[in-house]
Amino acid sequence: MTSQQNHVFLIATPAIGLLTPTVEFARRLVDRYPDRLSATVLLIPVPQWPTVHTYVQSLPATSSPNLRFLILPTMPPPSPDHFNSFVANVTSLIGMYKPNIQNAISADQSKRRVVGLFVDLFCTFIADVAEELGIPSYLFYPSGAGFLSYELDLPVFDSQLAHSESLTELSIRGYANSVPRRVFRRTVMERADGYSWYLKHAERFAQMKGIVVNTFQELEPFALDSLSVSAAPKIYSVGPILNLKGSAQWNPDSTQHERVVRWLDSQPTSSVVFLCFGSWGSLSGPQVREIAIGLERAGFRFLWVLREPPRANLGAPTEFSNFDEALPNGFLERTSKMGLVCGWVPQMTILSHKAVRGFVSHCGWNSTLESLWCGVTIATWPIYAEQHMNAFQMVRELELSVEIRLDYHDGIDLVPAEEIERGIERLMEGDDMLRARVKSMGEKCRIAIEENGSSYELLGALVDELTKEIV
Mean pLDDT of the region 152-169: 75
Decide if pLDDT at 424 tops 60: yes
Percent of the chain residues topping a pLDDT of 70: 90
Give tens-digit pLDDT for 73-85. 999 888 766 667 7
Determine the pLDDT at residue 321.
83
Mean pLDDT of the region 54-76: 86
Q: CB pairs under 8 A, 24+ apart, for 411-418? A: 411/284, 414/286, 414/287, 414/290, 415/287, 415/290, 415/291, 415/381, 416/290, 416/294, 417/290, 417/291, 417/293, 417/294, 417/297, 418/294, 418/297
CB 383 within 8 A of CB 37: no
Continuous H helices in 36-85: 50-58
Please state which CATH number belongs to domain 254-445: 3.40.50.2000
**Rounded Cα–Cα distance for residues 202 and 267 (Å):** 46
pLDDT band at 471 (very low <50, low <70, confident <90, very high): very low
Nearest residue to 378 (alpha-carbon basis) of 424, 433, 446? 424
**Rounded Cα–Cα distance for residues 343 and 304 (Å):** 8
Q: Regarding predicted confidence, which is higher, 14 or 184?
A: 14
**Rounded Cα–Cα distance for residues 242 and 125 (Å):** 26
**Beta-sheet pairing, 301-305 with 113-119:** unpaired
Q: Regarding predicted confidence, which is higher, 440 or 110?
A: 440
Q: Regarding predicted confidence, which is higher, 185 or 216?
A: 216
Nearest-10 crossing angle of helices 16-32, 365-374: 60
Q: Regarding predicted confidence, which is higher, 161 or 452?
A: 452
The mean-pLDDT minimum among 33-37, 101-105, 303-307, 355-359 falls in: 33-37
Percent of the chain residues topping a pLDDT of 90: 67
Interior angle at CA 451, CA 447 and CA 453, nearest 5: 45
Determine the pLDDT at residue 207.
94
Decide if pLDDT at 1 tops 50: no
Mean pLDDT of the region 420-430: 95
Mean pLDDT of the region 403-427: 92
Give tens-digit pLDDT for 348-397. 999 999 999 999 999 999 999 999 999 999 999 999 889 999 999 999 99
Tally helices (H) and strands (E) across the chain.
Answer: 19, 17
The mean-pLDDT minimum among 43-52, 56-65, 325-334, 376-385 falls in: 56-65
Mean pLDDT of the region 116-130: 96
Interior angle at CA 408, CA 220 and CA 433, nearest 5: 45
**Rounded Cα–Cα distance for residues 354 and 265 (Å):** 8
CB 52 within 8 A of CB 15: yes
Q: Is 446 exposed, middle or buried (0-12, 13-18, 19+ CB in 10 A)?
A: exposed
Mean pLDDT of the region 416-427: 97
Q: Give the Cβ contact number of residue 188 at 10 Å.
A: 18
Q: Do domains 6-239+450-467 and 254-445 have the same CATH topology?
A: yes
CB 81 within 8 A of CB 313: yes
Determine the pLDDT at residue 155.
81
Determine the pLDDT at residue 295.
97
Domain positions in the chain are 6-239+450-467, 254-445
Decide if pLDDT at 153 tops 70: yes
Mean pLDDT of the region 220-238: 91
Mean pLDDT of the region 52-78: 86
Determine the pLDDT at residue 231.
65
Q: Regarding predicted confidence, which is higher, 406 or 250?
A: 406
Determine the pLDDT at residue 272.
98
Q: What class is the 6-239+450-467 domain?
A: alpha beta
With the C-alpha atoms ordered 458, 459, 465, 468, is the resulting torsion angle positive or negative? Answer: negative
Q: Regarding predicted confidence, which is higher, 270 or 245?
A: 270
Determine the pLDDT at residue 151.
92
Decide if pLDDT at 230 tops 80: no
Determine the pLDDT at residue 60.
79
**Rounded Cα–Cα distance for residues 114 and 167 (Å):** 47
The mean-pLDDT minimum among 7-11, 78-82, 287-291, 352-356 falls in: 78-82
Decide if pLDDT at 116 tops 90: yes
Cβ-based neighbours of 201, under 8 Å, separated by 6 or more: 87, 91, 121, 122, 124, 125
Taking the whole predicted model, whether its pTM rises above 0.95 is answered as no
In DSSP notation, 21-43 reads HHHHHHHHHHHH-TTTEEEEEEE
Q: What 3-state DSSP class applies to 220? A: coil
Determine the pLDDT at residue 2.
43
pLDDT band at 184 (very low <50, low <70, confident <90, very high): confident
**Rounded Cα–Cα distance for residues 224 and 245 (Å):** 28
Taking all residues of the chain, what is their mean pLDDT, rounded to a whole number? 90
CB 7 within 8 A of CB 113: yes
Decide if pLDDT at 431 tops 60: yes
pLDDT band at 470 (very low <50, low <70, confident <90, very high): very low
C-alpha distances out from residue 376 to 273, 353, 356, 372, Å: 10, 10, 8, 6
**Rounded Cα–Cα distance for residues 36 and 84 (Å):** 44
Nearest residue to 8 (alpha-carbon basis) of 172, 140, 158? 140
